Amino acid sequence: MKQKRQAPDVRGRRAGAYQALHKGNYFSLGYHQLRVYNLLLRGGSYSAADISIALGLSDPRSVIRGLRKKGVNISDKWCNSEHGGRFKRYFIHDAI
Protein backbone atom coordinates (compact mmCIF):
# COMPACT_ATOMS: atom_id res chain seq x y z
CA MET A 1 0.00 0.00 0.00
CA LYS A 2 1.32 3.42 -0.92
CA GLN A 3 1.42 6.06 1.74
CA LYS A 4 0.29 9.58 0.98
CA ARG A 5 2.90 12.27 1.22
CA GLN A 6 1.93 14.89 3.73
CA ALA A 7 2.32 18.57 3.03
CA PRO A 8 4.78 20.45 5.24
CA ASP A 9 3.31 21.95 8.37
CA VAL A 10 2.31 25.61 8.18
CA ARG A 11 3.05 27.54 11.34
CA GLY A 12 0.06 29.79 11.83
CA ARG A 13 -2.33 31.58 9.51
CA ARG A 14 0.12 34.24 8.38
CA ALA A 15 2.74 31.99 6.85
CA GLY A 16 3.88 33.46 3.54
CA ALA A 17 2.18 36.80 4.20
CA TYR A 18 3.75 40.21 3.78
CA GLN A 19 3.71 42.87 6.49
CA ALA A 20 2.67 46.40 5.52
CA LEU A 21 2.59 49.52 7.68
CA HIS A 22 -0.28 51.94 7.04
CA LYS A 23 -0.98 54.91 9.33
CA GLY A 24 0.75 53.29 12.30
CA ASN A 25 -0.96 49.89 11.91
CA TYR A 26 0.64 46.70 10.64
CA PHE A 27 -1.33 44.59 8.18
CA SER A 28 -0.64 41.06 7.05
CA LEU A 29 -1.23 41.06 3.28
CA GLY A 30 -1.15 38.41 0.61
CA TYR A 31 0.95 38.76 -2.53
CA HIS A 32 -1.75 40.30 -4.76
CA GLN A 33 -3.03 42.49 -1.93
CA LEU A 34 0.46 43.88 -1.43
CA ARG A 35 0.80 44.65 -5.15
CA VAL A 36 -2.54 46.52 -5.29
CA TYR A 37 -1.75 48.31 -2.01
CA ASN A 38 1.63 49.51 -3.34
CA LEU A 39 0.04 50.69 -6.59
CA LEU A 40 -2.60 52.72 -4.76
CA LEU A 41 0.03 54.20 -2.42
CA ARG A 42 1.82 55.76 -5.40
CA GLY A 43 -0.96 58.31 -5.57
CA GLY A 44 -3.57 59.03 -8.18
CA SER A 45 -6.76 57.11 -8.74
CA TYR A 46 -7.12 53.87 -10.67
CA SER A 47 -10.11 52.10 -12.17
CA ALA A 48 -10.43 48.32 -11.96
CA ALA A 49 -9.36 48.16 -15.62
CA ASP A 50 -6.27 50.29 -14.91
CA ILE A 51 -5.27 47.99 -12.05
CA SER A 52 -5.87 44.89 -14.19
CA ILE A 53 -3.63 46.23 -16.95
CA ALA A 54 -0.90 47.49 -14.61
CA LEU A 55 -0.68 44.35 -12.47
CA GLY A 56 -2.10 41.62 -14.68
CA LEU A 57 -4.90 40.73 -12.26
CA SER A 58 -8.18 39.34 -13.49
CA ASP A 59 -10.37 40.73 -10.66
CA PRO A 60 -8.79 43.56 -8.66
CA ARG A 61 -12.12 44.43 -7.03
CA SER A 62 -11.99 41.27 -4.91
CA VAL A 63 -8.46 42.17 -3.82
CA ILE A 64 -9.66 45.66 -2.85
CA ARG A 65 -12.54 44.10 -0.92
CA GLY A 66 -10.03 41.95 0.99
CA LEU A 67 -7.85 44.96 1.76
CA ARG A 68 -10.85 46.86 3.11
CA LYS A 69 -11.77 43.88 5.33
CA LYS A 70 -8.27 44.04 6.82
CA GLY A 71 -8.73 47.72 7.66
CA VAL A 72 -6.92 49.53 4.85
CA ASN A 73 -8.85 52.73 4.04
CA ILE A 74 -9.37 52.60 0.29
CA SER A 75 -11.70 55.28 -1.02
CA ASP A 76 -13.60 55.28 -4.28
CA LYS A 77 -15.65 57.61 -6.42
CA TRP A 78 -18.05 57.02 -9.29
CA CYS A 79 -17.05 58.41 -12.68
CA ASN A 80 -18.93 58.67 -15.97
CA SER A 81 -17.28 57.42 -19.13
CA GLU A 82 -17.52 59.18 -22.44
CA HIS A 83 -19.52 56.23 -23.79
CA GLY A 84 -22.32 56.59 -21.27
CA GLY A 85 -21.18 54.01 -18.71
CA ARG A 86 -20.15 54.38 -15.10
CA PHE A 87 -17.14 53.01 -13.24
CA LYS A 88 -15.30 53.49 -9.96
CA ARG A 89 -11.85 54.92 -9.36
CA TYR A 90 -9.99 53.68 -6.28
CA PHE A 91 -7.43 55.65 -4.26
CA ILE A 92 -5.92 56.02 -0.79
CA HIS A 93 -6.22 59.42 0.93
CA ASP A 94 -3.25 60.61 2.99
CA ALA A 95 -1.01 57.69 2.17
CA ILE A 96 1.46 58.50 4.96
Q: Determine the structural domain holding residue 86 and report its residue range.
A: 18-91
36 falls within a domain? yes
Q: What is the pTM of this model?
A: 0.78
10 falls within a domain? no
**Dihedral angle of Cα 71, 43, 21, 69, to the nearest 10 degrees:** 20
Share of the chain above pLDDT 70, in %: 81
Which is more confident, 25 or 10? 25
What is the per-residue pLDDT for 96? 45
What is the CATH classification number for the domain harbouring 26?
A: 1.10.10
Alpha-carbon distance 85 to 94, whole Å? Answer: 29
Alpha-carbon distance 40 to 92, whole Å? Answer: 6
1 falls within a domain? no
**What is the number of other CB atoms lying within 10 angstroms of the CB of residue 67?**
25
Residue 1 has pLDDT above 70, yes or no: no
Alpha-carbon distance 51 to 35, whole Å? Answer: 10
Closest Cα to residue 37, out of 52, 15, 25, 22? Answer: 22
Based on the structure, what is the number of domains in the chain? Answer: 1
Residues 11-53 have pLDDT tens digits of 555 566 888 887 788 889 999 999 999 999 998 899 999 999 9
2 falls within a domain? no
- The CA-atom distances, in angstroms, between 49 and each of 10, 13, 22, 70 are 35, 31, 25, 23
